[in-house]
Amino acid sequence: MSDPISDRLRALVDSYLGGTITVAELSELEGLLRADAAARAYFARYAQTHTDLALELASRGAAERAVAQIPEPAAERAPHPAQRATSSRSVRLLVAAALLVGMSIGGGVVGLFAAPARPQPPSEPVTRTLALDFREPRPGTLADADGAGTGFTHRLPGTGATLPAPDPNLRLRVGLELTATGSDLNTRFRLEQAEFPGARLSELGFTGAEDFEVVATLADVPAMAFVGQFGVYAGTSGEWAVRGGLVSQREPDSYRQFVVNTRDGRDKDAYFVGIGAPGDDLRMRLSRTGGKFAVAVENRTTGATSTLATRHPEFLDGRPDLVVGVFACDPRGTDHKAVRFAAFSATVWVPAGR
């Protein structure tokens, strides 16, 4: 017995499922499916085995309603031996599902999809940002020397334990002046005096997996003693953090950009490059994108920009308790200078719908 399915129908179905069908061919395919029950049965079976299109796109309730309105194709009444395990009812559901995407029962053609269903792009993440310009006090936050709220809500855990409140090292002037202290995360040097004000990313919806960035703008960088440093950070404590910014060199009036991991109280994986000098205006950005950390410094005075990446701080992976902020340390200096932060922001990209 000859095959009731024509080569033309096979070619049209292949083109449809492959996404290469033309408008004219689509109209032809619709006509064949409307007129021929065997063609509808073939289309339903082929769509299932090829892409499971029928089962993905048709709801069971809609299919049940459609089944009652279409004749049962002869092909279902006498199935091929290889298909006997499939009940007549389930095959009819597939036919109905195929028809639901191609035609209106009892009323003509409404059109097959112009192309096979494609995965929908993920929704754009929601941006949540804490932005500080230090122009006005923010009550209820870390207080500066005059009792005015700076906008920062927390400190990096393990730092600043003996700093008084109000904090004499913080002053809201034109921006936030943060006076460096004789401290350093490296070797846990006087962490109780270390100035690492910041904020918790969890308050922006961070759960440990999201991308984020921390940006600080600085004006009129001061001259500091050798290894005096300032910049931005992210961490869970003074012993486990990643930070980056500028560090003073032995040569007078010279800074190098750096990024470093602090692991169990010791600086590791440091990376340096020359970029700045006293008096420069800077913009610093610490980011985690796709799980990888990097620090970028834009020297707005000279126009130079440099981005550094360090070994991935795996000890921060999955930690929802990250604190981010700014810092200024001067472990060898005696004349501690104030670093002026003109603006600060922390941004988390949270999945849509959460």
Within the chain, all domains assigned CATH 2.60.120.200 are found at 126-350
**pLDDT at site 249:** 87
- Kindly tell me if the per-residue pLDDT of 85 is higher than 50: no
Structure-token pair, residue 333: 């200096």
Cα gap 354→351, rounded to integer Å = 6
The angle formed by the CA atoms of residues 309, 227 and 196, to the nearest 5 degrees, is 70
Higher pLDDT: 305 or 320? It is 320
**pLDDT at site 115:** 46
Among 290-294, 316-320, 347-351, whose mean pLDDT is lowest? 290-294
Average pLDDT over residues 2-16: 78
Do the beta carbons of residue 149 and residue 166 sit within 8 Å?
Answer: no
Cα gap 347→287, rounded to integer Å = 9
Do the beta carbons of residue 84 and residue 46 sit within 8 Å?
Answer: no
Average pLDDT over residues 111-134: 72
Structure-token pair, residue 67: 């089944």
Q: Which residues pair with 103 in a beta bridge?
A: 109
pLDDT band at 121 (very low <50, low <70, confident <90, very high): low
Residue 62: phi, psi to the nearest 5? -65, -40
Cα gap 157→148, rounded to integer Å = 22
pLDDT band at 282 (very low <50, low <70, confident <90, very high): confident
Q: In the CATH scheme, what architecture does the domain 126-350 have? A: Sandwich (2.60)
DSSP states of 202-240 as a string? Answer: GGGT--SSS-EEEEEEEESPPP--TT-EEEEEEEEETTE
Note the pLDDT tens digit of each residue in 51-79. 444 344 443 444 444 444 445 444 444 44
